[in-house]
Amino acid sequence: MSPWVLRGLREGVVTTRWPNRPDNYASSWRGPAAAPGQVPVSDELTAICPAGAISAGPDQTVRIDQGKCVLCGRCVTARPEVFGWSAGAEVAALTRAGLVVPAAEETDAGLAQVRAALAARTAALRRSVHVRHVDAGSDGSEEQEIAALLNPVYDLHRLGIFFTASPRHADVLLVSGTGTTGMAEPLRETYAGMPDPKVVIAVGTDAVSGGLLAGPPVTYGGIGDLLPVDIWVPGSPPPPFSILHALLIATGRLR
C-alpha cells in the first residue's frame, strides 16, 4: 500500500470546516498591532514604527493604521502598556479607513451603503467563482500564503472558488505587492479585461499601503491609486484564513 494512503488513513481529514464551523487556528492568529487604550500621542511613540503606522487621532491620542503595519512588533516590544496584538484572522475591511484603529470617522450609513453596493454587484457570484492573481511587486511572502489556499488544509475548491490564468474568465482580481510603476499598466489591462461584475482585493500591507517601500519613484504606495479596491486585507503577509475571509466577503457569503 502506498505510504501516502497510509498517511491519509492515519491522519484522517485535515481540511478545515471554516467558515461553517469555528477553527481554533483562525481565531488564535496574531493580527496587526493595535492600541487598546486612549493614550496621548507623542513623537517618541510615532517614531517607533518604521512604516509610519502610528499617528495622532483627532483627540491627539494614539491611532494605528493597520494597513501600514508590517507586524515587526517593535511597538509591542518597546511599549507593551500602550500597544498590543489584535487577535483573529478576520481582518479584511470594505474601506481603507476601516483599517485605522481606533476607528476613524466612518458613519454606519456610509458603511452600509458600501456593503449594499458590493452585494448588488456580486449577487451573481455565489456557486462558482474564478480568481486571477497578479503580483504587482511583492516580496513573495503573500504568494506563499495564496498558494497555501490550494493545499488540503484550506482546499479553496471546496467552496467553489478556483484560480484562472485569464482575466477574461475572472470574477475576482487578487493583487499582492506594492504597486510598482512597471506593473501599473499590466494591472489596468488585467482589470479592463475582466467581465462585469468584478471585485478587486488588495492582499497584504504592501498592496494596501506600500509598506516599507511606499512612495515614488519605484512604487505607488499600494494599489489604491491604480485600481478601485473593494476589499483591503492587511498583514505582512496575511494568513490564508484572512485571504479566504476576504474572498468569502467578495462572493457575498460573509458580511
pTM of the predicted structure, to 2 decimals: 0.90
Tell me whether residue 10 is in a domain. no
Determine the structural domain holding residue 39 and report its residue range: 25-89
Give the pLDDT band of residue 251 (cuts 50, 70, 90). Answer: confident
Q: At what angle do helices 141-148 and 240-250 cross, to 10 degrees?
A: 70
Q: Does an H or E element contain 144, and which?
A: helix 141-148
Count of structural domains within the chain = 2
Q: Is there a contact between 48 and 54 (Cβ–Cβ < 8 Å)? A: yes
120 shares a domain with 70: no
40 shares a domain with 122: no
Identify which has the larger pLDDT, 102 or 5.
Answer: 102
What mean pLDDT is reported for the chain?
89
Which pLDDT does position 106 carry in this prediction? 60
Q: What is the CATH number of the domain that holds 205?
A: 3.40.50.12280
Residue 215 in grid coordinates: 512612495
Tell me whether residue 16 is in a domain. no
CA atoms lying within 13 Å on the CB side of residue 91:
37
Which pLDDT does position 123 carry in this prediction? 72
81 shares a domain with 114: no
Residue 110 in grid coordinates: 456610509
* Among 4-18, 97-111, 193-207, 208-222, the range of highest mean pLDDT: 193-207
Q: Does an H or E element contain 199, and which?
A: strand 199-203
158 shares a domain with 39: no
pLDDT more than 70, % of the chain? 93
* pLDDT exceeds 90 at position 127: no
* pLDDT exceeds 90 at position 133: yes
Which pLDDT does position 90 carry in this prediction? 93
Residue 168 in grid coordinates: 477574461
Tell me whether residue 99 is in a domain. no
Residue 173 in grid coordinates: 482580481
Give the pLDDT band of residue 114 (cuts 50, 70, 90). Answer: confident
Tell me whether residue 176 is in a domain. yes
Tell me whether residue 255 is in a domain. no
135 shares a domain with 80: no
Give the Å distances, CA to CA, from 203 to 6, 29, 127, 174.
37, 17, 23, 7
Tell me whether residue 147 is in a domain. yes
Give the separation between CA 255 and CA 246, rounded to whole angstroms.
10
Give the pLDDT band of residue 107 (cuts 50, 70, 90). Answer: low
* Length of the chain, in residues: 255
CA dihedral 114, 117, 118, 120 (to 10 degrees): 160
112 shares a domain with 81: no
213 shares a domain with 168: yes
